[in-house]
Amino acid sequence: MSAPTTMSDAAPADALHPYALTLEYDGSGFSGWQRQPGRRTVEGTLLAAIAAVTGEEVRLTAAGRTDAGAHAHGQVAGCSLRRGWDPGRLRAALNAVLPADVVVVEAAPAPAGFHARLDAVARSYRYVVMSRGERSAVARQYAWRVRGPLDLAAMRRVAASLVGTHDFAAFGRSPRRGGSTTRRVDSVRLRQLALAERRGIAPQSAVVIEVVADAFLYGMMRSIAGALVAVGLGRMRGEQLAALVQRPPAQRPPLPVAPAHGLHQWRVTYPQTVTR
């Protein structure tokens, strides 16, 4: 294989071939998305796979940066290659060298200048909570186990107060220093799923919290999930949570933050002009 092509000797931008890669990954064995020296990350793993397949060193853009231990079902990464590839062949070639916990589920041509984060118009995350007294061997890496029943009605009532355009500074920080903390939340839905019943054990359930927004602050989804669960367990009043978006405090309060392993990045939406 020829030596990797670096951006310094890359072709002019209009001669590059941009692609959008939709990824699924199990975040259990990664230190998050962003490449970090000496750590196994999703970005670093994908960059190594692209270099191995294409012989090119590229820059990636990503729709979002997942935390260490968080999972993705529809993460989107953008890259540009000097050589044009059939999308199906590019996907197959990358999957042949990627480890078992990362999969390219789709590769598609993208418009010139495609940026996976800046071009996105909506994102959705799901958070899974298990109301279960005993530990789970299967769900331990993919759901947050809490003890005691959750008051789903109370959680739904306060979730409605999060919908709309608000200052979410109490729930996270901007990806840019001094950037806006205002975000538009389109919907917050909570679904309860019944788990298999076993003789002699009380019925168990899981709650899926899904939030769709134009964009998320760092830590925003985990803070929303943690606060909603606190309401569901009776450890926080719904009015307290609602007040955080109605009257944002001057300083970020110590909200309960849900652990990363229950977080699932679900989908990214782009305008029709962006082909995925």
Q: List active site positions.
A: 67
For 87, the token pair is 């999308």
Choose among 154, 41, 51, 145: nearest CA to 94.
51
String of b and e for 167-182 (b: at least 16 CB within 10 Å)? Answer: ebbbbbebeeeeeebe
Among 144, 156, 164, CA closest to 231: 156
- Tokens standing for residue 231: 């309401």
Is 224 in contact with 171 (CB distance < 8 Å)?
yes
**Of 113, 116, 138, nearest in space to 14 by CA:** 113
CA 258 to chain centre: 14
CB atoms under 10 Å from CB of 81, counted, come to 20
- The answer to whether the CB of 115 falls within 8 A of the CB of 78 is yes
Q: Alpha helix locations (H) across the chain?
A: 42-54, 87-97, 152-159, 220-232, 238-246
Query: Residue 30: which of 2, 63, 65, 74 has the closest Cα?
Result: 65
Q: How many helices (H) and strands (E) does the chain have?
A: 5, 10
Whose CA is closest to 125, among 177, 61, 172, 157? 172
